[in-house]
Amino acid sequence: MRVLLVDDAADIRRLVRTALRFHGALTVVGEAASGVEAVELAAQLHPDIVVLDLGLPDIAGEDVLTRIRADSPRTKVVIFSGIEPRDRAWFEERVAGYVLKDAELEFLVDLLVKVADGTRDQLSLELPRELASVARARRFVADALKTWGIDALTPDAMIVVSELVTNAVTHARSECEVRLAVDAGGVRIAVIDRGEGTPDPRPFNEDQPSGRGLHIIGALSTAWGVDDVPEGKMVWAEMSRVAG
């Protein structure tokens, strides 16, 4: 797993790099001493994990995190910082882990190993309320399924995620988050939005082009449903690796 270290203190980067050298599954592919450099390297390298210090000299930690997630949505971020932010909950909702620098370095390394294991089978992408989000979601799903080696599901999965994101943007009128998970049985595609109401299938009508989305999702998936979650509601669909 490829790691990008972001910290303006060279000695901290050296300590973390040295500690990770003893774990063959984690390789440092880049280092950044500023927020601008971190964003540029994340967009170029698309690392699996970014270890991010919040006390950078040029850009606020919130902005660095947001820009990294926008340019490299599959990248997981772990905060390793001496700063305790006023709204730690905001960060914890958006990162894979949070470690203060007064903790043992081995604690950070153990967390990175766990995050690396999870990165292989779970991904998420936050999207704004705009129709262009549908295309971004399709690319996100296609790239993930290729990485996981289940390209055969790509055509149907792209249709499913298109319908789910379109519903969130146009009907729920909300920004949304796409979550993907894969296991031995197949892939689960979930979209979380913050809009009101619950999607319900309309009676199928061949002469009416709208309202078919949930029928399409039902036809292409082995199961689908709607769950209440703290962020709003989650509409999900599961697709089997084996057709039929």
pLDDT in tens, 145-195: 988 888 899 999 999 999 999 999 998 999 999 999 887 678 999 999 998
Distance CA 85, CA 88 (A): 5
Distance CA 204, CA 142 (A): 29
**pLDDT at site 119:** 59
CA-closest candidate to residue 93, choices 168, 174, 173, 192:
192
Topology of domain 2-119, per CATH?
Answer: Rossmann fold (3.40.50)
Distance CA 42, CA 3 (A): 10
144-172 in b/e form (b: 16+ CB < 10 A) is bbeeeebeebbebbbbbbbbbbbbbbeeb
Residues 209-226, mean pLDDT to the nearest whole number: 80
**pLDDT at site 243:** 47
pLDDT in tens, 35-90: 999 999 999 998 989 999 999 999 998 999 999 988 888 789 999 999 888 888 88
Residue 213 has pLDDT above 80, yes or no: no
What ranges do the domains of the chain cover? Answer: 2-119, 122-240
H/E element, 6: strand 2-6
Residues 85-100, mean pLDDT to the nearest whole number: 87
Q: Which CATH superfamily is domain 122-240 in?
A: Histidine kinase-like ATPase, C-terminal domain (3.30.565.10)
Q: What mean pLDDT is reported for the chain?
A: 86
**pLDDT at site 138:** 96
Q: Are strands 232-240 and 223-229 parallel, antiparallel or unpaired?
A: antiparallel
